Structure 1
Amino acid sequence: MSKKRVLTGITTTGIPHLGNYVGAVRPAIQAARDEDTESFFFLADYHGIIKCHDPAMIHASTQAVAATWLSCGLDPERTTFYRQSDIPEIMELNWILTCITSKGLMNRAHAYKAAVQDQNAEGGGDHDQAIEMGLYSYPILMSADILMFNANEVPVGRDQIQHLEMARDIATRFNSRFKPLFTLPEAKVDENVELLVGLDGRKMSKSYGNTIPLWENDKKTQKAVNKIITNLKEPGEPKYPGESPLFEIYKAFTTPAENAEFTRLLADGLAWGEAKKLLAARINAELAEPRERYAALTARPAQIEDILQAGAQKARQKARGFLDQVREAVGIRPLK
């Protein structure tokens, strides 16, 4: 029985924070340990330059994201871990798929429609003028990422389901027009994956400025945790879930029994300040060893590069032969 292929892409546009760790990194690495799964993880740096036009950030993020996944337990021997830009076969497949994708399909993409709506709100002339082709064609490149390795499942948030549906549409059109080569991927939306709330109770996001850093030291983690919003209840007054994001963040780092005890302590009057110390201690305890590994890796970026190049070699071995089949199917073949 062949293994199920699961593919995960991580865009290189920022430095990972605690919400990324809880919502994406930790569950994906746990899932990759399944003996019946063949996992592909890639740094989506070509996707990154669609919205991020700061070369220094793309470069720094590539290192930080790679070091994050490796430090948190991603095993490059058991998985295929690579940088998107190191696999030229993906970009060639991207062009082949572009040639068979209808403009109408791309016109329906949520990101494109939202960008047009923003332009309409600003007024002026041609509302497509400020929309670049990277944004417009993003779903095709994502399709190439997925279809190149015939992934069976792609873990995504609900905002990405449409892109998986587009990948299936594109694959179906190719399979019908030329040859049935592509597996139709399934979107995997795990309702049990935690979306960590931020300091202000909204989703933890760098755009909101409400994140807790992942790779800072214990003291800076405590300083960030201290900024979690609470009410004005004094020590001794009962405090309940819903009154502060503190409860939800603590839950992400404990067992159900431990979380119940924390909730009881606050209901019995534990001070907010003491509760924040307990939370920071939990976070720092879980991340102590990963932080050591992260510091060691980022101090030796050449080691990260070696791992990525080994992963690229593994990925290209799979991609090259399959792309040859795709080229043959569309008529790009040697003259004999």
Structure 2
Amino acid sequence: MTTRQRVLTGITTTGTPHLGNYVGAIEPAIAASRDEATESFYFLADYHALVKCEDPERVQRSTLEIAATWLALGLDTGRAVFYRQSDVPEIPELTWLLSCVTAKGLMNRAHAYKAAVDDNRDAGEEPDQGITMGLFSYPVLMAADILMFNAHRVPVGKDQIQHLEMARDIAQRFNHRYGEHFVAPEAIIDEHVATLPGTDGRKMSKSYDNIIPLWLPEKKLRKAIMKIKTNSLEPGEPKDPDTASVYAIYAAFAGPEQRQAMRAAFADGIAWGEVKQQLFELVNAQLAAPRERYEALMADPARVEDELRRGAKKARAISRPLMDRLRAAVGIRALG
């Protein structure tokens, strides 16, 4: 096993990246991938996407958009392993091996499954109405993603902690039965991760329809920023930056001196329109060059495909030997 710490992150391919994704996940992950002490794995979780998305065109389009986003923002694929989940056939094979040691009772306790059952009961339906095995078995596939590369650490939100605990449990069960093959992964919970407010003041989320897409053209970006909800305080009236969505977004993109200057401007009663204009200029300046790279990649999907195939080759150089050992361990071997 590797002596460097392996860190693994999956990105589900069901949507278009927005400013919140950029600040809260993509930018910090790309920065972390430059750490010499770690070996970074980033994958497009297209099998996971099938659990909640039945639109094939959306899954394919999202895969291209997300891959192009990470590449445009400077992910060094020479250092990191950047691949598409479905390009590594050992992952679904491992999912089956792990399924055969995973207790159904463990899956019964999964938050997503329990929430779906509760929703059905509240609606007067049968408890398992409309629940697929994809949803039920999702934690096993996630465990396979992690254990396939013996990731030491996995950055997750608080809603995913249970899945990491399940992955540890499944790894321990397999090791107990078939010998030591897997390390027990640890969840990395970043309490300080930036969560951006959306245009309505709530957390920026597709489900709230309040996002600002990351790659809007300049004019549309300005228009979206101008729609951010503010209070009715007039120009000249002091304003509180700590309760203003527009300041929270500004602070996520600004440096310390810029934040200090903007806080002073709030105290002096800066007009909301001027705050939004300055926010637009700040965000646009940071995204202008990456936007050009993104648009070039979107116009050349074959180039993105080549990057993903190279990443899959690197990933499979690890997954194939491990899978050979695991097959042998469970008794799936040549007969002579």
Give the TM-score taking structure 1 as reference length.
0.98
Give the equivalent residue in structure 2 for 1:5: 6
Take 2:219 and 2:111, find their aligned partners in 1: how far apart are those partners? 41
In angstroms, what is the RMSD of aligned CA positions?
0.9
Take 1:292 and 1:85, find their aligned partners in 2: how far apart are those partners? 28
Is 1:234 paired with 2:204?
no
Q: Deviations over 1:62-94 (max 9, x none)?
A: 000000111111111111110000100001000
Are the aligned partners of 2:64 and 2:298 in contact in 1 as well (CA < 8 Å)?
yes
Give the equivalent residue in structure 2 for 1:142: 142
Gap regions ≥5 residues in structure 2: none
Give the equivalent residue in structure 2 for 1:246: 246
Q: Deviations over 1:227-265 (max 9, x none)?
A: 111111111111112442111111001122211110110
Deviates more, 1:290-299 or 1:238-247: 238-247
Q: How does 1:212-291 map to 2 (within 5 A)?
A: 212-291=212-291
Q: Secondary structure at the match of 1:63?
A: helix
Q: Secondary structure at the match of 2:233?
A: coil
Give the equivalent residue in structure 2 for 1:55: 56
Are the aligned partners of 1:178 and 1:330 in contact in 2 as well (CA < 8 Å)?
yes
Is 1:179 paired with 2:179?
yes
Take 1:243 and 1:88, find their aligned partners in 2: how far apart are those partners? 48
Q: Secondary structure at the match of 1:41?
A: strand
Q: Secondary structure at the match of 1:144?
A: helix
Take 1:197 and 1:74, find their aligned partners in 2: how far apart are those partners? 26
Q: Secondary structure at the match of 2:8?
A: strand
Q: Which amino acid aligns with 1:130?
A: G
Is 1:117 paired with 2:132?
no
Take 1:33 and 1:108, find their aligned partners in 2: how far apart are those partners? 37
Give the equivalent residue in structure 1 for 2:300: 300
Runs of 4 or more consecutive aligned structure 1 residues displaced over 3 Å after TM superposition: none
Are the aligned partners of 2:241 and 2:266 in contact in 1 as well (CA < 8 Å)?
no
Are the aligned partners of 1:231 and 1:243 in contact in 2 as well (CA < 8 Å)?
no
Give the equivalent residue in structure 2 for 1:85: 86
Q: Secondary structure at the match of 1:187?
A: strand
Take 1:315 and 1:3, find their aligned partners in 2: how far apart are those partners? 16
Take 1:218 and 1:278, find their aligned partners in 2: how far apart are those partners? 14
Q: How does 1:64-103 map to 2 (within 5 A)?
A: 64-103=65-104
Superposed displacement of residue 130, structure 1: 1.1
Give the equivalent residue in structure 1 for 2:332: 332
Deviates more, 1:229-238 or 1:242-251: 242-251
Take 1:301 and 1:121, find their aligned partners in 2: how far apart are those partners? 45
Superposed displacement of residue 186, structure 1: 0.3
Take 2:233 and 2:181, find their aligned partners in 1: how far apart are those partners? 63
Q: Deviations over 1:199-221 (max 9, x none)?
A: 12211001101111210112111
Gap regions ≥5 residues in structure 1: none
Superposed displacement of residue 34, structure 1: 0.1
Are the aligned partners of 1:204 and 1:211 in contact in 2 as well (CA < 8 Å)?
yes
Q: Deviations over 1:255-276 (max 9, x none)?
A: 2221111011021011000000
Are the aligned partners of 2:46 and 2:63 in contact in 1 as well (CA < 8 Å)?
yes
Are the aligned partners of 1:327 and 1:333 in contact in 2 as well (CA < 8 Å)?
yes
Q: Deviations over 1:12-48 (max 9, x none)?
A: 0001111110111000000000011100000000000
Is 1:199 paired with 2:230?
no
Take 1:295 and 1:223, find their aligned partners in 2: how far apart are those partners? 20
Take 1:227 and 1:269, find their aligned partners in 2: how far apart are those partners? 20
Take 2:32 and 2:167, find their aligned partners in 1: how far apart are those partners? 23
Take 1:307 and 1:256, find their aligned partners in 2: how far apart are those partners? 36
Q: Which amino acid aligns with 2:58?
A: M
Give the equivalent residue in structure 2 for 1:17: 18
Take 1:69 and 1:242, find their aligned partners in 2: how far apart are those partners? 31
Q: Secondary structure at the match of 1:176?
A: helix
